[in-house]
């Protein structure tokens, strides 16, 4: 996906304030400037950042959050969203796609997500990922997204379980691929093809805006 996105697709990219997903407990919507303190407070947690790439530093400061916000202002189409707890209004997680704009991988996007420690273990991500996949496959045509993949470090069992429950297949293990915090780790590659998603039936429209 790239800025050379066909105009027909650009027309259906949501505005930068509307939620793309709404559940009884959470919204998935673009990050705003007002969100930066709650984003910082949720993400400044080593039990989360240890499983993420080095683009998410630890400690995670208000300046890290501001850098991320500034990056998002340039992202077109916007593919990184915040998970907001409806009751508190706080950012409690993130859900997004990393795109590869050129060459042979251009129809593959990489799914990434995280959730604050206090929100984990309640089925939140297992609920939101299928809705986000629905949004992804509906928003971007097959010329832009044919495959969604996720990269998980060895040992991250809850993340792999979420992917398994959401229809992804574990396709392989890239041995010693990751250098994270002074350790070599294996990288587990999980994938879901558009055709598999469509055969499985996806999710109901009602829950996706
Ligand atoms: C991965 C993460 C997003 C999961 O979110 P979540 O909302 O807590 O996940 P859910 O509650 O929907 O589901 C978690 C599943 O993992 C299972 N699980 C949790 N810990 C587990 C473990 N140690 N071993 C095996 N399964 C485990 C849960 O039982 C649940 O499966 P179930 O519904 O069959 O019981 C969250 O833990 C997180 O943000 N982790 C840190 C950041 C991260 O790892 N991001 C992903 C990088 S690839």
- Examine residue 137 and state whether it is found in any structural domain, yes or no: yes
- Examine residue 135 and state whether it is found in any structural domain, yes or no: yes
pLDDT in the model for residue 201: 66
Question: Can you give the residue range of the structural domain that contains 28?
Answer: 19-207
- Examine residue 6 and state whether it is found in any structural domain, yes or no: no
Tell me phi and psi for residue 22, to 5 degrees: -140, 125
User: What's the total number of domains in the chain?
Assistant: 1
Closest CA to 156 of 13, 62, 49, 75: 49
Query: Average pLDDT of the chain?
Result: 90
Q: What residue's CA is closest to ligand 1, atom 3?
A: 114
Q: Binning pLDDT at 50, 70 and 90, where does residue 202 land?
A: low
For residue 115 and ligand 1, the question of a CB distance below 6 A is answered with: yes
- Best probe residue, ligand 1, of 158, 167, 174 (max atoms within 8 Å of C-beta): 158
Q: Binning pLDDT at 50, 70 and 90, where does residue 101 land?
A: confident
Closest CA to 162 of 133, 125, 111: 125
Q: Which atom of ligand 1 is nearest to the CA of 156?
A: 44
Q: Which atom of ligand 1 is nearest to the CA of 47?
A: 41
pLDDT for residue 13 is more than 90: no
| Alpha carbon distance 30, 22 (integer Å) | 13
For the segment 113-134, what is each residue's pLDDT rounded down to a tens digit? 999 999 999 999 999 999 999 9
pLDDT in the model for residue 132: 98
- Examine residue 9 and state whether it is found in any structural domain, yes or no: no
- Examine residue 119 and state whether it is found in any structural domain, yes or no: yes
**Mean pLDDT calculated for residue range 20-26:** 98
Calculate how far, in angstroms, residue 158's C-alpha sits from the geometric centre of ligand 1: 3
- Report if pTM > 0.85: yes
Calculate how far, in angstroms, residue 70's C-alpha sits from the geometric centre of ligand 1: 29
The CATH number covering residue 55 comes to 3.40.630.30
**Mean pLDDT calculated for residue range 71-92:** 96
For the segment 140-164, what is each residue's pLDDT rounded down to a tens digit? 999 999 999 999 999 999 999 999 9
| Alpha carbon distance 76, 91 (integer Å) | 22
Q: Which atom of ligand 1 is nearest to the CA of 153?
A: 48
| Alpha carbon distance 8, 24 (integer Å) | 32
- Examine residue 4 and state whether it is found in any structural domain, yes or no: no
């Amino acid at each position: 996906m790239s800025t050379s996105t066909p105009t027909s697709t650009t027309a259906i990219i949501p505005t930068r304030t509307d939620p793309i997903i709404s559940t009884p407990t959470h919204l998935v919507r673009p990050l705003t400037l007002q969100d930066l303190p709650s984003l910082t407070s949720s993400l400044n947690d080593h039990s989360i950042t240890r499983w993420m790439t080095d683009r998410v530093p630890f400690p995670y400061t208000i300046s890290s959050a501001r850098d991320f916000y500034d990056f998002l202002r340039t992202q077109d189409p916007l593919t990184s969203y915040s998970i907001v707890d409806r009751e508190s209004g706080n950012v409690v997680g993130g859900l997004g796609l990393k795109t590869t704009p050129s060459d042979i991988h251009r129809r593959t996007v990489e799914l990434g997500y995280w959730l604050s420690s206090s929100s984990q273990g309640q089925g939140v991500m297992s609920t939101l990922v299928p809705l986000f996949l629905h949004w992804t496959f509906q928003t971007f045509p097959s010329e832009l997204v044919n495959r969604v993949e996720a990269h998980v470090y060895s040992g991250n069992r809850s993340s792999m379980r979420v992917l398994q429950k959401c229809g992804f297949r574990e396709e392989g293990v890239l041995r010693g691929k990751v250098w994270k915090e002074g350790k070599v780790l294996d990288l587990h590659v999980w994938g879901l093809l558009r055709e598999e998603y469509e055969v499985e039936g996806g999710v109901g429209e009602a829950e996706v805006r």
